[in-house]
Amino acid sequence: MKRIRVLFSRHEFHILVFCLSLVLFSWPLVSSSDFDRINAMFVYLFVCWTVVVFLQFLISRVLISR
């Protein structure tokens, strides 16, 4: 648990999460002109958004508890 707290409190990890979110929501991955894939794209965006928000939540909890 201590290692996770140290990882989440590092500035480099914050930059990594930011870059990961940029890649996940970038134009080539999000663009879709096929209407049959709308449901799959919705699931993809929702899951990516949930992961990014959860990581930000964990980072904030670690930084508050310091």
**Cβ of 46: how many Cβ atoms within 10 Å?**
10
Instruction: Kindly state the average pLDDT of the residues 29-36.
Output: 66
**Prediction pTM value:** 0.83
pLDDT band at 41 (very low <50, low <70, confident <90, very high): confident
For residue 66, with 0-12 CB atoms within 10 Å meaning exposed, 13-18 middle and 19 or more buried, which class applies? exposed
- For residues 36 and 12, the model is more confident at 12
Taking each helix axis from N to C end, the angle separating 11-24 and 38-65, rounded to the nearest 10 degrees, works out to 170
Length of the chain: 66
What confidence score (pLDDT) does residue 27 get? 84
